[in-house]
Amino acid sequence: MRYLFCLIAAVSFAPASSIIAGTTEQVETAAESGKYTYVMFYRSNDDATQRMARAVQSHVAEVGDRTTWVTVNVHDRREAPLVKRFDASRIPLPAVFGVAPNGAVTGVFREKVNEEQLHMAILTPMYSDMVKGLQSQRIAVVCMMPDADAPIPTGVKALQQNPAFEGKLHQVRACASDSSEAEFFRRMHVDPDLDAPVVLVFAPPGTHVGTFEATVSGQELAQALHRSGKCNCSKCQRNRRAASGKR
């Protein structure tokens, strides 16, 4: 970020606001205003870095009402908190991370990126909520609802009350009547013309456990999670330890 001021003649590398605000503060300010931030990490101002910077800059210029971007030199000690937060010193660089207002990382692009990929990193509010839950190592139980008045399926409620999954679930509720969530329905392959809720279950880091009808029972959901091998309940942890001991 600050390191790049001497390079601006080569490319308009850093947002002008970087002059008056630290990089971490920029990311936080963007989040507070509901904007996505593309955090671009680099080691040197080589051709790959320049190309990535131009791609990000061009994209942000088109959707500046929803996005902003910052650049971070991994060798700059002042940027150590962000480098550590994204573990950016351990991956091929340059790389850009898409960060939602809620802190979810919605895309990681190493060495090169195009505008289509950057656009795909912009998620709907409920989609980014799901991703945030998964990145917090929780099982995401997504209820795709016809409208805001539709009740949560009883099977989902039963799963939430299952002691084996206490503290391990993250429920997401998206309504087809909410136009801002249309892209979430599209990416989840759920027809928004719903007569009844659809339940999707994902396990960290993003494994699709299954898609279920509204009539699914809590027991069926629990069994699907156990079978997936991604369940982190105490019973499955014991089973994994036992299996590991046998090997």
Query: pLDDT tens digit string along 112-145?
Result: 999 999 999 999 999 999 999 999 999 999 999 9
Same domain, yes or no, for 77 and 181? no
Confidence of residue 19 (pLDDT cuts 50, 70, 90): very low
Q: Where among 59, 88, 120 does a domain terminate?
A: 120
Q: CATH number of the domain that 170 lies in?
A: 3.40.30.10
Q: What pLDDT sits at residue 230?
A: 77
Burial of 49 (0-12, 13-18, 19+ CB in 10 A): buried
Same domain, yes or no, for 116 and 166? no
Query: pLDDT tens digit string along 48-82?
Result: 999 999 999 999 999 999 999 999 999 999 999 99
The H or E element containing residue 144 is strand 139-145
The contacts of residue 239 (CB under 8 Å, 6+ apart) are none
> What is the residue-wise DSSP string for 86-137?
HTGGGS-SSEEEEE-TTS-EEEEEES---HHHHHHT---HHHHHHHHHHHTT
197 to each of 102, 128, 146, 191, 217, how far by Cα in Å? 25, 20, 6, 11, 13
Residue whose tokens read 């790389």: 95
Same domain, yes or no, for 33 and 146? no
Residue 15 scores a pLDDT above 60:
no
Q: Which domain holds residue 145?
A: 125-246
Same domain, yes or no, for 29 and 139? no
Q: Where among 86, 120, 154 does a domain terminate?
A: 120
Same domain, yes or no, for 152 and 226? yes
The two three-digit tokens of residue 36, written as one number: 């996505």
Same domain, yes or no, for 77 and 179? no
- Pick from 48, 50, 68, 43: which is nearest to 7 by CA? 50
Overall number of domains in the chain = 2
pTM for this one? Answer: 0.85
Q: What pLDDT sits at residue 75?
A: 94
Q: What pLDDT sits at residue 130?
A: 98
Same domain, yes or no, for 38 and 78? yes
d(Cα 39, Cα 24) in Å, to the nearest integer?
A: 10
Q: Where among 100, 120, 140 does a domain terminate?
A: 120
